[in-house]
Amino acid sequence: MKTNYTKIKTIIQVMGKYGVKPLSKMKGADFVHDLGFDAVYVGGLIYDVEDALHVRLDDDEAKNLRNPQELIGSMLRYQN
The total of other beta-carbon atoms located within 10 Å of residue 46's CB is: 20
pLDDT on residue 9:
94
Is the CB of residue 8 less than 8 Å from the CB of residue 74?
no
DSSP secondary structure code for residue 28 in this structure: G
The CA–CA distances, whole Å, from 35 to 23, 25, 70 equal 15, 11, 15
Task: Give tens-digit pLDDT for 29-44.
Answer: 999 999 999 999 999 9
Q: What is the pLDDT of residue 2?
A: 64
> Whole-model pTM?
0.88
Domain boundaries, the chain: 4-77
CATH architecture for the domain at 4-77: Orthogonal Bundle (1.10)
Instruction: Give the pLDDT score at 17.
Output: 96
pLDDT higher than 90, residue 24 = no
